[in-house]
Every structure is written in C-alpha cells, then in structure tokens.
Amino acid sequence: MIQSRMIGDAKVTRVLEYSGPTHAPEFLFPEVPKAERDAQLAAHAAWLAPHHYVPHMDRLIVTIQLWLVQAGGNTILVDTGVGNRKKRAAPRMDMLNTLVVPWLEAAGAAPEKVTHVVHTHLHTDHVGGNTIEQDGRWVPAFPNARYLMPKADFDYWKAEYDRGDVGVQAGSFADSVLPVLAAGLVDFYDGDAELAGCLVPEAVPGHSPGLTALRLRSNGEEGYFSTDTMHSPIQIANPHWNDRYIVWPDQARQSRAKVLARAAEREALIMPFHFGAPYCGYVRRQGEGYRFEPAGW
C-alpha cells in the first residue's frame, strides 16, 4: 500500500509494511501508572479510535512503515522497516514476506534506482530492509545507494556487538547493518549538515543514542520525519509518556518536547513511523499542551 503527496517540489510516498492492534497499553507504556493510563485513553478515545486505539480490545494500533522522498533527482528511503525473511523474536516481525519492494518499484523506487537510504536510528524495525538474502548471505538490497547512518547510534550498537552481544537489536545489527558496511556503502553523519540534498538532521536522543529527526523543506512547505520520539499520537497529548524501548528516559522526554514545539511552530507535516491511519498529520497548540490533527491524502 502506498500513498503520495507533495511537499513543495518534493514527492513523499508512504509505504506500509504492516499495521494492527498489536500493543497492550501497559506493554507499550509500562512506566505510566495504570490509573493515569486508563483515564487518558478513555478521555481521548473519541479521536484515537478507530485508527490508533481499539477500546473494546484495549489495544494500541502500531504501524511499521517507511518513507520515500523523490527530490532534486535523488530517490531517498527514510528507514527500511523490518524487512523480509529476517528471523526475529517478536512473532509479528518474524520471517515477514511483505510486498514492500514491489510497492517501492510501483512508486518509482526500484532497488537499483534508490540513491540514498537515510536512517533515523538503527533499531530492528528501521534497518531490516537494508539487506536481502542471496545464496545464503545477506547482501545490500539497494546496491547503488549510499546508506547514511547516525554515527552516535552506530557507535553505541557496535560497542554492544563487540562486547559479545551478537544478538544486539534482535540480530538486525548483524544481518542488516554490518553487511552494508562490509560492502563499503555506509556513510556516517553527525551535526546538522544537509543529507541527500534535502534533509536536515536534528539530533533527538533518548529512544536511542543517535536518534535523529529529519527536516524536509521545499518551496515554502515543510515536512518533519519525527522518527521514534513518539510511537502513538496519545504521546502528543501526554508528552511525558515514554515507551518501553527507551534507552535514556530523561533525554527522550526532552527530545519529544523539542519535536512537538518545532512541529507546532513550523506548522510542519509530521511523518512518524508507527502511527495508525492517516499515518501523518500536524501538531497544534491546545492550551498549555498539544493536540494531533490528522492530515488527509
């Protein structure tokens, strides 16, 4: 499934890997007291349901998707999802066989045409599509692309791997990151220098050490790949809620606050990786806090 829109002169396409009511609130937000969690979900159920929360199941809808940017002659993937035929511990991610690659081709991004793969961070569900299996080996899925990775994230997970944790990130570091490094296709980035001719990185650590949001500006319009500063729009109404996958909790809250303030001030279309339909939208000021405004396609 693909959906496209223009941000100025840049064409942005959303590619769905999978989506469903997969996460119990207490699983995704284990540090939030039950009374607060239940009260907030009930208070916001009218707009969360049916695309972000299913009240009668008490399940949050979590999506895995990637984004394609076509701008200035470049064909850019922003993260690559879980990927196919990857052995993973979580059943919902294990040995997928999705149609992401043909959908990318349908959108004009056949594997050989991709010029850049820009990673916001190196978690399992953001790097798995980097490689495909060929003759029993994992090889780069986009052989003509430069794979751009935040150096802080790579250094952190490489240190874990070198200490003997070969299963780091459920095995994705070994089967989806190291093979593209070995192929000589990786460039590391830090700072705020523009990437792939159109994306400005903004460090938002916490969820992972090198987590990076990406700002896309074109012809007076703006988009914002808000990455995993949020897993659900309930966090727009409750910015202090951290998900269970956080590495540095205090920094995650600070980064989320920055992303929400920037998105609201810039009136930028936020393009997360895990929200339910319509998968993107706007952050609007509401009193002392924020609300989510879904964007149409």
Q: From first to last of the 297 residues of the chain, give the pLDDT tens digit.
A: 799 999 999 999 999 999 999 999 999 999 999 999 999 999 999 999 999 999 999 999 999 999 999 999 999 999 999 999 999 999 999 999 999 999 999 999 999 999 999 999 999 999 999 999 999 999 999 999 999 999 999 999 999 999 887 667 779 999 999 999 999 999 999 999 999 999 999 999 999 999 999 999 999 999 999 999 999 999 999 999 999 999 999 999 999 999 999 999 999 999 999 999 999 999 999 999 999 999 988
The token duo for 173 is 């570091």
What whole-number distance in Å separates Cα of residue 53 and Cα of residue 20?
10
d(CA 142, CA 277): 28
DSSP state of 231: S
Q: How far apart are CA 66 and CA 273, in angstroms?
A: 7
Question: Cα–Cα distance between 86 and 280 in angstroms, integer?
Answer: 27
272 vs 54: CA distance, rounded Å = 20
Phi and psi torsions of 261, nearest 5°: -65, -45
Question: What's residue 164's pLDDT?
Answer: 82
| DSSP element (H, E) containing 124 | helix 124-127
Residue 7 identity: I
- Whole-angstrom distance, CA of residue 239 vs CA of residue 281: 16
Residue pointed to by tokens 């190196």: 122
In the structure encoding, which two tokens stand for residue 105, read together? Answer: 């081709």
Q: Is the dihedral angle over the CA atoms 87, 90, 94, 126 positive or is it negative? A: negative
pLDDT at 78: 98
**Confidence at residue 159, expressed as pLDDT on a 0 to 100 scale:** 94
CB 182 within 8 A of CB 165: no
Pair type for strands 53-54 and 146-150: unpaired
Question: pTM of the prediction?
Answer: 0.96
With beta carbons less than 8 A apart as the criterion, state whether 51 and 276 touch.
yes
Contacts of 257 (CB under 8 A, 6+ apart): 239
Around 125, how many Cα atoms within 13 Å sit in the side-chain half-sphere? 21
The fold adopted by the segment(s) 2-294 is Metallo-beta-lactamase; Chain A (3.60.15)
- Under 8 Å between Cβ of 82 and 125: yes
Q: Which two tokens stand for residue 279?
A: 């998968």
How, if at all, do strands 212-218 and 137-140 pair? unpaired
Closest CA to 47 of 258, 236, 287: 236
Task: Provide the token pair at 228.
Answer: 């995993």
